[in-house]
Structure formats: C-alpha cells, structure tokens
Amino acid sequence: MVLYRKYRPQKIADLDIEEVRERLMRIFSSAYLPHAFLFCGPKGTGKTSAARIVAKILNCEKRADGKGQKTENRKIEPCNICDTCRSITEGRHMDILEIDAASNRGIEEIRDLRDKIRLAPVSAKYKVYIIDEVHMLTHEAFNALLKTLEEPPSHAVFILATTEEDKLPETIVSRCTRLTFHKASREEILHSLKRVITGEKLSVSPDILSALTQAADGSFRDATKLLEQIISENITTLEKVHGTLGVSNVNKNNFLLLLKQKKTKEALKEIEELNIKGKDFKLFITEILNLLHELLLNQYGITVKDNLKDTSLDFTTKEINSLIKLFSKVFIELRMASRPELPLEVAVVEWCES
C-alpha cells in the first residue's frame, strides 16, 4: 500500500489543518447538522479524507446519535472499528457514493443521482454523496443539483469538494456549510511527514525533510509521495534528494546577488549550468520567486527569516517588485518556450543591461 493511503487521516484529530479540525469538532458537537458541506482548497490538502471522516461520523455504529444530548456527553470521532467505519475506509460501502464530477459532469448523471437519492439507505443511517471537483459540472447539471440541495431527503448528506470555488454558482455555495482547506504550511506538512516516519520506524534527516516540505508546495499528498520516493530509492543525502526533486544546485542567493551587481556574463553561466544538468527551470524560477517573496515581507518586518538577516541582497522595495514582475513573466513564458533556458536568459540580460 502506498504511504499516502496507508496514513490517510481516519478521524478529525488526524487532520493536519488546525482550522478544519476545530470547525468539524464544533459542527459535530451540535445537534444541528448540515445537509450539505462545501470543502474548498488546493489539491492534496485533505478534502477527500475529511469527507470520508464526515461520512464515518454520520454512520458509525458505535457513535451516539447525539440529538438532544448535551455536547459534553456526545462522542464525536468515529470508532474506525465497526463494520460501517471499516467499509467506508475501504471504499466499499454502498451508501457512501464518491462521484468524480470531471468524468460525470452532465445533467443526466445528476438526474440519475436525484432519482436514486430518494431511496432509503441500504444499511447506513445516511446516504452520503461526495462529489469531487464539483466545479466541473455543466450549467444544466448545477441547476439539477440545486433542486436536490434545496429539498434533500432527511437521510441524504452532500459533501462537495473543489479546487476552484470561484467557478461555483452562488446558489450552490449559499446552500452549503463551507470549510476552507488552505495551502498547507511547511510546519503542517512536517507534522504530517513525521507521522508517517514514526509509523514506518524510519530515520530521515531534518535537512531532507525541509527539502521535501518545500518541494511539496503546500500539498500533504505530494509531500508523502516524495517521501515514499526517496525511501524506495534509498536516498540518504541532501544532494541526491535535490537531484531527485529536480532542484538546482545553483545558489538562489548568489544568483540574485549577480543580478544585483549587474554581472550579466556570470548570471548567464549559471543558467547554462542549469541547462547542462537538465534542471527544471520552472522549479528554479519558483525558488527565486519564493526568495523574493521573503525579501519583500522582510522589508516590512512581517516575517524575519534567519537566512535573510546577513544577506547581501539589499534590494530596494522597488527593485524587488520589478524582479517579481520579471520572473513571474518568465514563469508564464516557460510553458510556450522552445528552449526552456531562453526566457530566463532574456530576463537576465534585460535586467542587467537596463
């Protein structure tokens, strides 16, 4: 079993985003439960895992009904032991239906759902419909779904998940209890990875963990997949990790320093080194933009990074803004470039010769 599935959160306390944990605990501490949830956030932040946890909470055989009881007397977390919890975890419960809206986006599929939802659950208390990437539904399908959300049967609960909330009709959003899954911080990803490392009885250096959390770009799933990759290949050095991740050995601070000093030739040589070694230019530009972002916040004392305190990168705020615009343009142009190094080379010449 892949590590991400093996260590997928199975209860609210396992979710790594604190705000989501707290909100779900508050929701299920109440006797008034929503009939529709909307989980919004980037990929790999735990939306589907949380949806399955909600399905288990609603249907767990050992969890008290809770209606009319005081909050402190209610059991919130699923037991993960009963037949219902286990079948939901294994994805085989007949009353928990997961629908990929990217593949089932038409009105006929939603009409079929609307017809079947009236039928009583086979064995669970609630029928739970988890619709992933719900923003992919057509306009007609949204209209059909809206009618069901307005007057759902008492035994049905909807959990809509999306990475693009802005594409959802306001009429749909307004009928759901909305939870935001923000892009995971490095600390949250590190917490998630340590849970896996402890469970697998592994030893991974802090430097390698730091590299993985940065490369994951806010995704718990991506971080765990990267960890699994270095474990399967028995990679134990930071240099080899960088090679596996496609991270360049070119020092970001030194590269920006060359731009600061207007050393065109030296900066172009650094780019040539990246090209010869087959490094990912998109990833390198992302690293540069992350550093510029830290420099910008540092200018205003919002975040003071230890690695920036003694840096020679004494750019003005105007220079930082200009560089962010320049490298953001390079990032966009990379997608259409016939030679991946060319947009960056042109940007370096443009900056240094200006």
Work out whether the CA dihedral 196, 55, 90, 218 comes out positive or negative.
Answer: negative
Task: Find the mean pLDDT for residues 185-190.
Answer: 89
Q: How confident is the model at residue 66 (pLDDT cuts 50, 70, 90)?
A: very low
Compute the half-sphere exposure of residue 72: CA atoms within 13 Å on the CB side of its CA: 0
The predicted structure's pLDDT at residue 302: 80
Distance, CA of 100 to CA of 116 (rounded, Å): 17
Region 113-127: mean pLDDT is 89
**Interval 311-322 mean pLDDT:** 84
Q: Can you give the pLDDT at residue 235?
A: 84
> Quick one: CA dihedral 116, 118, 122, 124, positive or negative?
positive
CATH architecture of 252-352: Up-down Bundle (1.20)
pLDDT of 234 over the 80 cut: yes
pLDDT, mean of residues 131-136 = 93
* 48 pLDDT higher than 90: yes
Fold assignment, 3-180: Rossmann fold (3.40.50)
C-beta of residue 93 within 8 angstroms of C-beta of residue 122: no
pLDDT of residue 50 exceeding 60: yes
Cβ count near 45 (within 10 Å): 26
Q: Band of the pLDDT at 157, cuts 50, 70, 90? A: very high
Rounded to an integer, what distance in angstroms lies between the CA atom of residue 318 and that of residue 210? 31
Per the CB < 8 A criterion, the answer to whether 334 and 282 are in contact is yes
Q: Which of the four CATH numbers 1.10.3470, 3.40.210, 1.10.8, 1.10.260 does domain 186-242 have?
A: 1.10.8
Does 338 score more than 60 pLDDT? yes
Among 165, 168, 190, 136, CA closest to 42: 165
pLDDT at 329: 94
**How much is the mean pLDDT over the chain?**
87
Q: What is the pLDDT of residue 237?
A: 83
Q: Residue 187 corresponds to which amino acid?
A: E
Q: Of 43-52, 68-77, 84-93, 262-271, give the lowest mean pLDDT range.
A: 68-77
* Exposure b/e, 121-154, CB count within 10 A at least 16 = b: beebbbbbbbbbbbbbbeeebbebbeebbeebee
Mean pLDDT along residues 98-112: 83
Delimit the domains of the chain by residue range. 3-180, 186-242, 252-352
pLDDT of 313 reads 74
Q: Over 80: is that where the pLDDT of 203 sits?
A: yes
* Mean pLDDT, range 2-26, rounded to an integer: 91
Phi-psi region of 69 (alpha: psi -120 to 50; beta: other; left: phi over 0): beta
Q: What is the pLDDT of residue 306?
A: 55
Q: Which three-class secondary structure state does DSSP give residue 40?
A: strand
Query: In this model, does residue 74 exceed pLDDT 70?
Result: no
Take residue 56 and report the two structure tokens written for it.
């288990």
What does the alpha-carbon distance between residue 138 and residue 144 come to, in Å, rounded to a whole number?
Answer: 10
Mean pLDDT across the stretch 305-325? 77
User: Residue range 255-275: average pLDDT?
Assistant: 90
Tell whether the model's pLDDT for residue 72 goes beyond 50: no
Whether the per-residue pLDDT at 39 is higher than 90: the answer is yes
* pLDDT value of position 307: 55
The mean pLDDT value for 5-14 works out to 91
146 near 3, Cβ under 8 Å? no
pLDDT at residue 94 tops 90: yes
Residue 229 clears pLDDT 60, i.e. is over it: yes
CB-CB contact of 196 with 9 (8 Å):
no
Element containing residue 111 per DSSP (H, E):
helix 107-116
Total residues belonging to the chain:
354
pLDDT at 67 over 50: no
